[in-house]
């Protein structure tokens, strides 16, 4: 069955995108993105999403927030059981990005979203939404480099859902969205090398039919950092063997070049934030919440 979410996206127009500091292994201030090319690539991505049935709403980028273009990490967008759209705002691990939410929160509120925080101003725990995906009956959340383990408990309790935690250990796949891409209710792109042994085993057990990516594929092509609209997979690149399996399953692969954004450590998923995951449909309701961690 196709994913029921991933049709409504929020993005940030890259008017001030640059590499100003180093908070991941891909960033090098001596290798700056070309502003005109980055804008053209972003616009082509938005147009591609819209051609394939999705919608994109764009926030303006703060001049002092060069990484704000990676909109996936602004917050976790959900639709509550009563139909109310809600965003759990991220609390970034690195101070260089924390100002992004002070612009994103009122933008969401003005458009009818309610908002909340798992951690703010050093209280609670770090949460970065690029670590969280609905899959199966739960919110699958990577923790370690960016999101803290404590955030999983806050999410489960606040939202009344099941949260499955996976420990990320690879420095180059610091968000789960670089190593995991749900394709439908049974299939996903998975890179076990991003996780510790117990978490890799737990993820492979959770996904009935995975396409297992090598470490090299995940790091050099960013192919797990893709989005899915029905049977269309929009990818920054697609290794031949991955394309063959996707097409055998009936997916159509559409490649969009966003290589300028790889200089900041993100790709298509990082640039797009789905806000249409529904509690009660995509995520099981669990009174009081529940956190499930891998068995070591």
Provide Rg for the chain, Cα atoms.
17
Helix (H), strand (E), coil (C) string for the chain = CECCCCCEEEEECCCCCCCCCCCCCCCCCCCCCCHHHHHHHHHHHHHHHHHCCCEEEEECCCCCCCCCCCHHHCEEEEECCCCCEEEEECECCCHHHCCHHHHHHHHHHHCCCEEEECCECCECCCECHHHEEEECCEEEEEECCCCCHHHHHHHHHHHCEEEEEEEECCCCCCCHHHCEEECECCEEEECHHHECHHHHHHHHHHCCEEEECCHHHHHHHCCCCCEEECCEEEECCCCHHHHHHHHHCCCEEEECCCHHHHCCCCCHHHHCEECCEEECCCECECCCCEEECCCC
Sheet of 114-117, strand order: 114-117, 85-89, 75-79, 277-278
For 22, 45, 75, 172, 275, the CA distances from 49, given in Å and listed in that order, are 30, 6, 20, 27, 14
Q: Which CATH number fits domain 8-292: 3.75.10.10, 3.30.70.270, 3.65.10.10, 1.10.10.60?
A: 3.75.10.10
Rounded Cα gap, residues 220 and 217, in angstroms: 6
- What is the distance in angstroms between the CA of the first residue and the CA of the last residue of the chain? 32
Could you read off the pLDDT tens digit of each residue along the chain, which spans 296 residues?
999 999 999 999 999 999 999 999 999 999 999 999 999 999 999 999 999 999 999 999 999 999 999 999 999 999 999 999 999 999 999 999 999 999 999 999 999 999 999 866 666 799 999 999 999 999 999 999 999 999 999 999 999 999 999 999 999 999 999 999 999 999 999 999 999 999 999 999 999 999 999 999 999 999 999 999 999 999 999 999 999 999 999 999 999 999 999 999 999 999 999 999 999 999 999 999 999 999 86
pLDDT at position 166 is 98
Place of tokens 């704000």: 68
State the pLDDT at residue 123. Answer: 65
> Is the alpha carbon torsion for 63, 66, 70, 73 positive or negative?
negative
| Residue (of 186, 183, 184, 185) closest to 223 by Cα position | 183
Separation between Cα atoms, residue 78 and residue 114, nearest integer Å: 10
Q: How far apart are CA 172 and CA 153, in angstroms?
A: 25
- In this predicted structure, what is the pLDDT of residue 120? 64
User: How is the chain split into domains, by residue range?
Assistant: 8-292
Cβ-contact 87, 110 below 8 angstroms: no
Token pair 């609670």: residue: 124
């Amino acid at each position: 069955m196709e994913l029921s979410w991933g049709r409504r996206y929020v993005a940030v127009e890259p008017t001030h995108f640059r590499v100003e500091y180093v908070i991941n292994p891909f960033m090098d201030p001596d290798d700056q993105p070309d502003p005109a090319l980055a804008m053209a690539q972003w616009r082509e991505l938005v147009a591609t999403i819209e051609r394939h049935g999705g919608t994109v709403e764009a926030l303006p980028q703060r001049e002092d927030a060069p990484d704000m273009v990676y909109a996936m990490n602004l917050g976790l967008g959900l639709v509550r059981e009563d139909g109310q759209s809600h965003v759990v705002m991220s609390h970034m691990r690195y101070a260089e990005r924390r100002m992004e939410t002070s612009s994103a929160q009122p933008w969401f509120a003005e458009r009818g979203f309610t908002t909340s925080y798992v951690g703010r101003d050093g209280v609670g725990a770090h949460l970065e939404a690029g670590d969280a995906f609905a899959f199966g009956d739960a919110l699958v959340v990577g923790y370690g480099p960016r999101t803290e383990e404590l955030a999983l408990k806050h999410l489960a309790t606040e939202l009344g859902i099941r949260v499955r935690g996976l420990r990320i250990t690879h420095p180059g796949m610091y968000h789960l969205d670089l190593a995991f891409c749900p394709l439908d209710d049974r299939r996903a792109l998975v890179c076990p090398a991003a996780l510790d042994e117990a978490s890799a085993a737990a993820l492979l057990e959770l996904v009935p039919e995975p396409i297992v990516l090598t470490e090299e594929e995940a790091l050099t092509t960013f192919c797990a950092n893709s989005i899915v609209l029905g049977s269309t997979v929009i990818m920054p690149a697609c290794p031949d063997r991955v394309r063959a399996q996707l097409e055998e399953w009936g997916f159509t692969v559409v490649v969009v070049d966003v290589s300028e954004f790889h200089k900041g450590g993100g790709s298509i998923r990082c640039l797009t934030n789905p806000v249409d995951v529904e509690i009660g449909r995509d995520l099981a309701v669990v009174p009081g919440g529940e956190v499930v961690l891998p068995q070591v």
